[in-house]
Amino acid sequence: MKLKKSTLLLPLVFAASMFASPFANALQMEPLSLVLKPAGAGANQIFSVINESAKPIAVQFSMTTRQQQGDKEIRLPADDKFMIYPPQTIIPPKTAQKVRVQWLGDSNVQQEQAFRLIAEQVHVSLDKEPTGVTMLMKLVGALYVQPSKTQSNVRVSAVRPQGNKLSVTVTNTGTRHQILDKAILNLQHGNQVISLKGNQLLGMEGKNVLAKSTQQFLINKPAQVQNAAWVASLNVQK
Domain extents in the chain: 4-145, 154-235
User: What was the pLDDT predicted at 119?
Assistant: 83
Alpha carbon distance 40, 4 (integer Å): 31
Q: What is the pTM of this model?
A: 0.83
pLDDT band at 93 (very low <50, low <70, confident <90, very high): very high
Which one is predicted more confidently, 28 or 129?
A: 28
List pLDDT tens digits, range 61-74. Answer: 899 999 999 889 99
In the chain, what percentage of residues exceed pLDDT 70? 84
pLDDT band at 127 (very low <50, low <70, confident <90, very high): low
Which one is predicted more confidently, 8 or 161?
A: 161
User: What was the pLDDT predicted at 59?
Assistant: 84
- From the options 2.60.40.10, 3.90.70.10, 3.40.50.720, 1.10.443.10, give the CATH code of 4-145: 2.60.40.10
User: What was the pLDDT predicted at 165?
Assistant: 93
List pLDDT tens digits, range 136-154. Answer: 788 888 999 999 999 999 9
Q: Which amino acid is at 79?
A: D
DSSP states of the chain: -PPEEEEEEE-----SEEES-TTTTSEEEESSEEEE-SSSGGGEEEEEEEE-SSS-EEEEEEEEE-EEETTEEE--B-GGGEEESSSEEEEPTTEEEEEEEEE-S-TT-SS-EEEEEEEEE-----SSS--S-----EEEEEEEE--TT----EEEEEEEEETTEEEEEEEE-SSS-EE-TT-EEEEEETTEEEEEEGGGGTTTTT-EE-TTEEEEEEEEPPTT--SS--EEEEE---
Q: Which of 58-62, 123-127, 208-212 has the highest mean pLDDT?
A: 208-212
Which one is predicted more confidently, 152 or 86?
A: 152
Which one is predicted more confidently, 35 or 124?
A: 35
pLDDT at 116 over 60: yes
pLDDT band at 17 (very low <50, low <70, confident <90, very high): very low
User: What was the pLDDT predicted at 20?
Assistant: 37
Check: CB of residue 109 under 8 Å from CB of residue 147: yes
User: What was the pLDDT predicted at 97?
Assistant: 76
